[in-house]
Amino acid sequence: MRILLVEDETSISNFLKDGLEEEGFAVDVADNGKTGLQLALDNLEEYDTIILDWMLPGMSGIEICRNIRKESHVVPVIFLTARDTTDDAVFGLESGANDYIRKPFAFDELLARIRVLMRGKSGENSVFRYKEIILDVDSHRVSKADENVELTQKEFALLEFLLRNKGKVSRRTRIIEKVWDIHFDYDTSVIDVYINALRKKLDDKNSESFIETIRGVGYRINEEA
């Protein structure tokens, strides 16, 4: 799950990036409006949520949002703002944003809202299953046969991505785009490391792995028989 964060205050973008990455999101940060819009338009398909600060140097969050909406109505947009009147909220939402959160906000609240929006975007619920394996996005838990399984953030994000695309082949480049952020150097071999880790933690003993390798292309979790 990849997020674009457009925020000029580094003190704010730093903790957001750290916190969101710890939750398994890939986060790209732009510190001004123009770069932010450029990133958004170049990677519209890749971003699952765009977080916009309202007041940005170069171009306001409102403008960025309007420009994004010309291209896509799918990607959820959340405004961060220090403005606090109802008019501002209405104005923000009318520009095409899906949600609006006032500074200073609780990180958990932002997280919850991002998850709600992503669920809305994909039209799915937040719980994914494969046989006995259950992944709950909201509570950020994975269990197998009702037993909790500890996953790292990247493992979680990878599993979530594969489960979301259950039955389809997830290409290695696509996995990189969705699970790692833009600064990743596209060495896709890192995926194998995480796939192995997932297999180790979740595979049944003495049977085939629940993640199928499609050689030279990517990976797939099949629909249950």
- Residue 6 near residue 30 (C-beta atoms within 8 A): yes
d(CA 41, CA 70): 10
- Largest separation between any pair of C-alpha atoms in the chain: 61
Residue among 141, 138, 161 at smallest CA distance from 149: 141
Q: Does 8 help bind other proteins (rule: CB under 8 A)?
A: yes
To the nearest whole angstrom, how small is the minimum distance from the Cβ of residue 12 to other proteins?
A: 5
Member of 104, 123, 167, 216 binding other proteins (CB under 8 A): 104
- Residue 5 near residue 48 (C-beta atoms within 8 A): no
Beta carbons within 8 Å of 186's beta carbon, 6+ residues apart: 173, 176
Q: Which of residues 38-97 bind other proteins (CB under 8 A)?
A: 55, 57-58, 82-84
Residue 26's SS3 state is strand
Member of 70, 73, 108, 123 binding other proteins (CB under 8 A): 108
Q: Which is nearer to other proteins, 103 or 199 (CB)?
A: 103
Which one of the spans 2-10, 170-178, 182-190, 217-225 is the region binding other proteins (CB under 8 A)? 2-10
Which one of the spans 105-113, 126-134, 142-150, 159-167 is the region binding other proteins (CB under 8 A)? 105-113
Q: Does 107 help bind other proteins (rule: CB under 8 A)?
A: yes
d(CA 36, CA 42): 10
**What mask of x and - would describe binding to other proteins in positions 129 to 168, judged by CB under 8 A?**
----------------------------------------
To the nearest whole angstrom, how small is the minimum distance from the Cβ of residue 150 to other proteins?
A: 12
To the nearest whole angstrom, how small is the minimum distance from the Cβ of residue 53 to other proteins?
A: 10
Member of 12, 41, 93, 127 binding other proteins (CB under 8 A): 12
Which one of the spans 41-49, 101-109, 123-131, 155-163 is the region binding other proteins (CB under 8 A)? 101-109
d(CA 161, CA 75): 17
Dump the DSSP string for 52-118.
Answer: EESS-SSS-HHHHHHHHHHH-SSS-EEEEES---HHHHHHHHHTT-SEEEESS--HHHHHHHHHHHH
Residues that bind other proteins (CB under 8 A): 8-12, 14-16, 18-19, 22, 32, 55, 57-58, 82-84, 103-108
